[in-house]
């Protein structure tokens, strides 16, 4: 929402008041409370007939400072509220004659004791951002009767803003107006399924607005040197988060809002779907699964989309008896093929569902203010929405899912959850506007918690909608995209923005959802998809098995699926890092190279973990421009080395810019036919461009019950590499691009370097 008309005027329907004069600041426990008048208070008469803002400053955690601006405080508490992990006891308050400063580690906020109001955030004493004179305010709209509280924080020269959920609009958010309001709008508009009121900047600070409903951002748009945000009502609460790097901002933000669970190892394999509206039965499904096996394509998960249930009955959680007369037997037969099972669900109950009358009778659905069930005909005729604020409704819904789990279903694709109405009444009295976005969190939490209870660490959903905290319930996918290069690129933009919003795991529909991709797009998307966190073939009205495109597509899919399987030791370590820190597996370049201006705007390439650079090809010609940050980079597939800078390359469909960072000890696995294996046994550790005086380290672990751990450190002194290792199972070291001789003489020369059988301690010398 905009509160100005150019630099000097305001819209005619608005009246604005600002905090301008600090009347008093006092210390209350470990908080600062300030009363700030909307005009200068020079005489006693000035204290009459004016607005006073109450400002609360507090430390939420080390490096995280909260600000609450209030006008009227007498309103009732409104639900829902985000669950935040605040750390008590981190605040330190310092006072002098002019100002009072609240410290939370290296981050602090300073406010004058009296007089002209300003609010300054500092890192190690240097100003980071802040709110100047008349930057924040309170707006009353004469046309609607609504009120808003807003804030404008300063942006410096060259400061870029990123994040705010899975957004498909330009990657750098400067110049954009963004509404935090979940919508089912596909991947080709400014709407988003996953709206997160959080951003970070390349200057190494972040901003989180603690409001589950609509938050309106104007990022360097209304005021081009400001990041503005506003909420409807009488109060605004936000948190400034210090880095000092963008990666550390994410660590602190996810510490506050929650970090993702670790998905099971099997989920990193290839997923294949029936697709949406295609016809399928057991014979068809078996032809897909067996066809992949016969062609040597490793397949891990088979997904049944909507029509596993009868049309017009979604959801009744009953297999269509005409198509699947023996669902439990069919699932068992698929399990015999070493295939995990996922089925599609949503939180809506159609009027034709056998569950509808029971849900109405027992009050399990969201209702209108007059007590009637809220219904409409979009998506399913007469559908109602399950009220997950009602514990009994949650148990009822989960009871039907448990029947499916007992049949052998491993996972649920938790589709939808975005079009949640606001003209309704919730069981727990939640405010409808605040529940619109938050519903996605409740829905996915309900399903994920059931899977965690029933399947332990094997719990995983495949979710489309999200709100703050939803990152705790992986994995999320990008929604409905078209089947072309443009949509492939916009999907990547969305995934990178989501990763910069605290989500560690992300996927997308390989080949696109709407329509059918030409073979070249499908093959290029296979490379991108298999070098993503999670990899699923899915579409709308046509199947996505590779032989439906051409025989070369089979070879391409097999090629990149095998690569992903062999990279599992590295990917598993990266997934554990996402669980522990909140740093995503797929990382925008600025996360790994925050001091490199060339990395700041990049949205057509990414880092897969900290060591692998991936640049998908978005052209039939195979021509792609890739930016390599300063240093030596080694192409993973060819061993060719290049130095930092822009490179224009041409790749066939079996390749793409896929580079290993210098000073990397990259663990690869012994198997290319599955993601579920002992990552340590037979591992090959590839040492890439280790510089003189530099050290590379690697820890390999596995999800296998009898798996071990391997820890290896390599240090270079001129032509000599010293290796120290801890581990009991056999492994090998591959020095990529160089011929080395082992101290024991046990070296084997190869085209890419030297393989040395792993031992506890040894040295290599350049041949």
Strand pairing class (720-726; 710-717): antiparallel
Give the per-residue pLDDT at 539: 98
Q: In this model, does residue 411 exceed pLDDT 60?
A: yes
Please check whether the two domains, 14-153+203-239 and 265-566, share a CATH topology. Answer: no
606-608 and 720-726: which strand pairing?
unpaired
Longest dimension (CA), the chain: 93
- Which residues contact residue 371 at a Cβ distance below 8 angstroms, ignoring those fewer than 6 apart? none
pTM (two decimals): 0.97
Give the residue among 499, 512, 608 at the shortest CA–CA distance from 171: 499
Under 8 Å between Cβ of 448 and 483:
no
CA dihedral 290, 295, 296, 301 (to 10 degrees): -40
- What is the number of other CB atoms lying within 10 angstroms of the CB of residue 627? 20
Query: What's the average model confidence in pLDDT over 318-324?
Result: 97
> Which residues belong to the active site?
415, 418, 480
Looking at residue 739, what is its pLDDT?
A: 85
* Tens of pLDDT, residues 29-85: 999 999 999 999 888 998 899 999 999 999 999 999 999 999 999 988 999 999 999
Mean pLDDT computed over 268-287: 97
- pLDDT class for 752, splitting at 50, 70, 90? low
Three-state SS string over 50-84 comes to CCEEEEEEEEEECCEEEEEEECCCCCCCCCCCCCC
As to burial, measured by CB atoms within 10 angstroms (0-12 exposed, 13-18 middle, 19+ buried), residue 406 is exposed
Q: Which fold has domain 265-566?
A: TIM Barrel (3.20.20)
Architecture of the domain defined by 14-153+203-239: Sandwich (2.60)
Arithmetic mean of pLDDT, 254-265: 98
Residue 600: predicted pLDDT: 98
Which pLDDT score is estimated for 51?
A: 92
User: Which CATH architecture best describes the domain 665-766?
Assistant: Sandwich (2.60)
pLDDT surpassing 80 at residue 414: yes
pLDDT in tens, 151-181: 999 999 999 999 999 999 999 999 999 999 9
Q: Which two tokens stand for residue 397?
A: 């819904």
- pLDDT tens per residue, range 693-710: 999 999 999 877 777 899
228 and 218 in contact (C-beta within 8 Å)? yes
Nearest to 469 by CA among 238, 263, 256, 252: 256
Interior CA angle at 153 toward 30 and 14, to 5°?
Answer: 110
Domain ranges of the chain: 14-153+203-239, 265-566, 586-661, 665-766
Class for domain 586-661, per CATH? mainly beta
| Cis before 309 (ω within 30) | no
Q: What is the pLDDT of residue 746?
A: 53
Report pLDDT for 703.
79
* Alpha-carbon gap, residue 586 to 567, rounded angstroms: 14
Who wins on pLDDT, 494 or 738? 494
Distance CA 605, CA 658 (A): 10
Phi-psi region of 518 (alpha: psi -120 to 50; beta: other; left: phi over 0): beta
Measured in residues, the chain has a length of 767
What does the DSSP assignment read for 513-557?
SBS---HHHHHHHHHHHHTSSSEEE--SSS---GGGT-HHHHHHH
């Amino acid at each position: 929402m905009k509160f100005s008309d150019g630099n000097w005027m305001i819209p005619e329907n608005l009246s604005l008041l600002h905090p301008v004069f600090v009347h008093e600041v006092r210390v209350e426990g470990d908080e600062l409370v300030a009363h700030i008048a909307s005009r200068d208070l020079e005489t006693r008469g000035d204290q009459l007939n004016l607005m006073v803002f109450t400002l609360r400053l507090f430390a939420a955690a080390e490096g995280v400072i909260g600000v609450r601006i209030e006008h009227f405080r007498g309103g009732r508490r409104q639900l829902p509220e985000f669950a935040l992990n605040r750390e008590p006891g981190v605040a330190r308050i310092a006072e002098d004659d002019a100002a009072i400063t609240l410290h939370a580690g290296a981050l602090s906020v300073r406010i004058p004791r009296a007089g002209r109001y300003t609010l300054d955030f500092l890192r190690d004493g240097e100003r980071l951002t802040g709110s100047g004179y008349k930057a924040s305010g309170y707006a009353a709209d004469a046309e609607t009767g609504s009120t808003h509280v807003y804030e404008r924080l300063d942006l410096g020269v060259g400061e870029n803003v990123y994040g705010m959920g899975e957004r498909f609009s330009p990657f750098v958010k400067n110049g954009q107006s963004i509404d935090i309001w979940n919508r089912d709008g596909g991947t080709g508009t400014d709407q988003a399924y996953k709206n997160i009121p959080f951003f970070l900047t390349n200057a190494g600070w972040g901003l989180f607005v603690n409001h589950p409903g609509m938050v309106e951002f104007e990022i360097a748009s209304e005021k081009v040197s400001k990041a503005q945000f506003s909420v409807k009502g009488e109060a605004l609460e936000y948190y400034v988060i210090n880095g000092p790097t963008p990666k550390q901002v994410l660590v602190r933000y996810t510490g506050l809002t929650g970090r993702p669970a670790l998905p099971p190892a099997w989920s990193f394999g290839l997923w294949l779907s029936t697709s949406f509206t295609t016809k399928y039965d057991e014979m068809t499904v078996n032809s897909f699964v067996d066809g992949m096996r016969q062609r040597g394509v490793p397949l891990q998960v088979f997904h049944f989309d909507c029509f596993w249930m009868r049309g017009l009955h979604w959801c009744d959680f009953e297999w269509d008896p005409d198509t699947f007369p023996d669902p439990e037997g069919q699932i068992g037969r698929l399990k015999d093929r070493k295939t995990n099972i996922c089925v599609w669900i949503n939180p809506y109950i159609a009027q034709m569902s056998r569950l509808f009358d029971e849900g109405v009778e027992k009050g399990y659905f969201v209702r209108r203010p007059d007590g009637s069930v809220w219904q409409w005909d979009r998506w399913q005729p007469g559908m109602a929405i399950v009220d997950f604020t009602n514990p009994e409704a949650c148990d009822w819904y989960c009871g039907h899912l448990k029947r499916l789990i007992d049949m052998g279903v491993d996972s649920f694709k938790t589709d939808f959850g975005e079009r949640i109405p606001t003209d309704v009444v919730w069981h727990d009295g939640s405010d409808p506007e605040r529940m619109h976005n938050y519903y996605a969190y409740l829905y996915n939490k309900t399903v994920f918690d059931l899977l965690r209870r029933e399947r332990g660490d094997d719990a995983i959903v495949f979710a489309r909608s999200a709100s703050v905290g939803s990152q705790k319930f992986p994995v999320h996918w990008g929604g409905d995209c078209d089947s072309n290069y443009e949509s492939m690129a916009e999907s990547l933009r969305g995934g990178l923005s989501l990763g910069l919003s605290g989500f560690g795991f992300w996927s997308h529909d390989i080949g696109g959802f709407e329509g059918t991709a030409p073979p070249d797009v499908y093959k290029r998307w296979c490379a991108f998809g298999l070098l993503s966190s999670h990899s699923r073939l899915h579409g709308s009205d046509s199947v996505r098995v590779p032989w439906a495109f051409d025989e070369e597509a089979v070879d391409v899919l097999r090629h990149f699926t095998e690569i992903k399987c062999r990279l599992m030791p590295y990917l598993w370590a990266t997934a554990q890092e996402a669980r522990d820190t909140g740093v995503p597996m797929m990382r925008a370049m600025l996360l790994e190279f925050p001091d490199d201006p060339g990395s700041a705007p990049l949205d057509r390439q990414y880092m897969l973990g900290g060591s692998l650079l991936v640049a998908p090809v978005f052209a039939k010609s195979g021509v792609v421009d890739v930016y390599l940050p300063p240093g030596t980079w080694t192409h993973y597939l060819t061993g060719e080395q290049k130095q930092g800078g822009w490179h224009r390359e041409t790749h066939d469909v079996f390749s793409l810019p896929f580079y290993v960072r210098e000073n990397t000890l990259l663990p690869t696995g012994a198997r290319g036919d599955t993601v579920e294996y002992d990552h340590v046994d037979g591992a090959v550790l590839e040492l890439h461009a280790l510089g003189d005086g530099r050290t590379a380290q690697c820890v390999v672990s596995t999800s296998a019950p009898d798996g071990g751990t391997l820890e290896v450190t390599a240090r270079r002194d001129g032509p000599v590499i010293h290796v120290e290792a801890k581990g009991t199972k056999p492994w090998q070291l591959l020095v990529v691009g160089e011929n080395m001789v082992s101290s024991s003489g046990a070296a084997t020369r190869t085209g890419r370097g030297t393989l040395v059988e792993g031992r506890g301690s040894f040295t290599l010398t350049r041949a």
